[in-house]
Structure 1
């Protein structure tokens, strides 16, 4: 590798650092949970996707351990060659039954699921109409497709209708609307009833990435469609958040959709099958999540308590009712300073800034979890108040 190229990389890294955009990872010495070990300290964790607190659930760990002994450590192959076990099909059937679809297909991550969805199903004669705030994996997946691309402002139904009309005027064979079910950086729930009405009016298909909804929102945790009463045609999701917090993604929908994905989706065809321990643990996580009304009730109680506490303290919050509660700070350095001040007070959060969120919209995205208790919530509110006053934020 040339010295000039490495110097170029160092210069780029220096520019990222100077702009206050450099991301640093912190080492956790123990399991994910409501409280986590960082070095010799214990911190209250407000930035995990561990919504139901299942990441260290003993029954999930036991299921994974049993599968490890029964099925081994890994598959060492892609599924269509020599990598499918009965566990994989059992998990796919469980996902489909849980979310009310014909079948499901597993991926190494939901990023891969979104990466394989659009290219497989749509061609240059078709159109994709995508919400402007969709997750990066959707954006990348759409780019891989040869379909004509349209974009509408977040949850702007007038603009969505305009784009559907434009797609028709451009002669689109099939139209697919894609949106996050819950927007991960803002906590907003997509307007699925309105999207469903427009899709039906214009003959469009709806695909929803429900990573931040499946397991903890809606009846039995069945996601944004169940929450809003408007079911999408295709759902992509993950086992890496509410459903155990390990890894792995899925697509679920009509049988022909899943069958074609199994034949042609490149991230599926050319990636190893999910490890048996992850597969078995995810199966147990779905079983627990379906019956976890007590955890969902606790999660929403924490959400209301924390949101009320920070609002009364004077912090600027994005409105919403999901367990994602963004604390808006504007500049990247301000978000990082508050994160550091909270770390000193034993509250674990992360600042989010460009390019993860738009310029000037830096924030600390706090997330509630059923792994927390009321004492944790009160402690965190107090820490935010103290740090906010110290930095002149409130």
Structure 2
């Protein structure tokens, strides 16, 4: 009888390399301060809950009312009996919010990239991708038969050189993150769009970390750069700043109709629970009526980043609420993260293969929930442990 020897060996190799991470169990919901299993309270700076919407009363009430009306689940995939009125309303709201003809909701941001890329890319097409794009984009591309080209991170000269070589393909699709999740830097979207128009290419932007963060009312990077009507596929998540779960694409009606029929992750997954759809509808209204949340987010992020730099920390290329502190090799990075947790600060260590072997970092995400006192507490912990490790 087969056993798990090979799996055990792989697991031990992770431990030997200092890259093994067990799951952390939390006793309460996502918030600025959270309770670890066992009762320890720590300042949370690893959450994607940018605006604190997971606890917003309007969203919770919407979820409760939808559960009372529709039940806890949709009961089917979207193409059978799983498209309830609440799902249709959410897609109409998202399309209006993003300024596109249509929007289609998926079960997660990851499955959105898989489904959309799988629908629009064929064997006669080429996809041109930034080297630091998210894993869901990479996996989505791998599942297609399209030719693949990679350009160096935000290198527009190299992007143009690749576009020049790709004139013979049926379609050219340039894919980029709007905000890059490991470094917190923003894609040069205006130049990407201009080059795509010059060489007749489609533009595909994953705004997972820009949704609710960049642009007026958090509309994303397309709005941030004033490129409405010039970006063909805007991918968004409902799982981060929006505070719930799910993903979506804002695009043309024709593209939506094609995906409804071809996107495997859409076709073979039960639709979002009605409570989630309702809370996301409420979140769109909150984004439009409570701009002070986004203003507080950016005030916190810019102030904290500037302070870290003055103290001598290496924050890489961060220009958003995602603020990494570069530590180095994996084992040292994870030990740095562990020491911060000892001091009451949760800042997740990110190591190879997510980032380069020598670019391990603790990735902090500043939110609108953090008070000035919270950020001062975080700074004190970082300075203490940073000195211990010789980082500052």
Q: Tell me the equivalent position of 1:214.
A: 211
* Deviation of 1:62 (Å): 1.1
Q: Tell me the equivalent position of 2:373.
A: 375
Q: Tell me the equivalent position of 1:174.
A: 171
The counterpart of 1:33, out of the listed 31, 34, 39, is: 31
Q: Tell me the equivalent position of 2:237.
A: 238
Q: Tell me the equivalent position of 2:101.
A: 102
Question: Following the alignment from structure 2 to structure 1, what is the Cα–Cα distance between the partners of residues 213 and 307?
Answer: 22
* Deviation of 1:173 (Å): 1.1
- Deviation track 1:204-250 (CA, whole Å, cap 9, x = no partner) reads 10010000001121111111111122342111111100012x21111
Question: Following the alignment from structure 2 to structure 1, what is the Cα–Cα distance between the partners of residues 328 and 389?
Answer: 14
Map of 1:189-338 to 2, 5 A cutoff? 189-231=186-228, 232-244=231-243, 246-338=244-336
Question: Following the alignment from structure 1 to structure 2, what is the Cα–Cα distance between the partners of residues 293 and 75?
Answer: 32
Q: TM-score, normalised by structure 1?
A: 0.97
Q: Which ranges of structure 1 fall in alignment gaps of 5 or more residues? A: none
The answer to whether the aligner puts 1:137 opposite 2:136 as a matched pair is yes
Question: Following the alignment from structure 1 to structure 2, what is the Cα–Cα distance between the partners of residues 218 and 27?
Answer: 34
Map of 1:72-151 to 2, 5 A cutoff? 72-151=71-150
Question: Following the alignment from structure 1 to structure 2, what is the Cα–Cα distance between the partners of residues 273 and 100?
Answer: 24
Question: Following the alignment from structure 2 to structure 1, what is the Cα–Cα distance between the partners of residues 336 and 174?
Answer: 38
The number of aligned residues is: 389
Question: Following the alignment from structure 2 to structure 1, what is the Cα–Cα distance between the partners of residues 306 and 377?
Answer: 14
Question: Following the alignment from structure 1 to structure 2, what is the Cα–Cα distance between the partners of residues 243 and 290?
Answer: 12
Question: Following the alignment from structure 1 to structure 2, what is the Cα–Cα distance between the partners of residues 112 and 128?
Answer: 18
Counterpart contact for 1:215–1:290, Cα < 8 Å: no
Q: Deviation above 3 Å: which 4+ runs of structure 1? A: none
- Deviation track 1:334-381 (CA, whole Å, cap 9, x = no partner) reads 211111111111111110001111111100111110011110011101
Question: Following the alignment from structure 1 to structure 2, what is the Cα–Cα distance between the partners of residues 41 and 289?
Answer: 33
Question: Following the alignment from structure 2 to structure 1, what is the Cα–Cα distance between the partners of residues 132 and 269?
Answer: 28
Question: Following the alignment from structure 2 to structure 1, what is the Cα–Cα distance between the partners of residues 317 and 155?
Answer: 17
Question: Following the alignment from structure 1 to structure 2, what is the Cα–Cα distance between the partners of residues 172 and 265?
Answer: 22
Q: Which ranges of structure 2 fall in alignment gaps of 5 or more residues? A: none
SS of 2:53 mapped into structure 1: coil
Question: Following the alignment from structure 1 to structure 2, what is the Cα–Cα distance between the partners of residues 262 and 227?
Answer: 29
Question: Following the alignment from structure 2 to structure 1, what is the Cα–Cα distance between the partners of residues 313 and 118?
Answer: 43
- Deviation track 1:275-303 (CA, whole Å, cap 9, x = no partner) reads 01111111111111123321111111111
Which shows bigger deviation, 265-274 or 121-130?
121-130
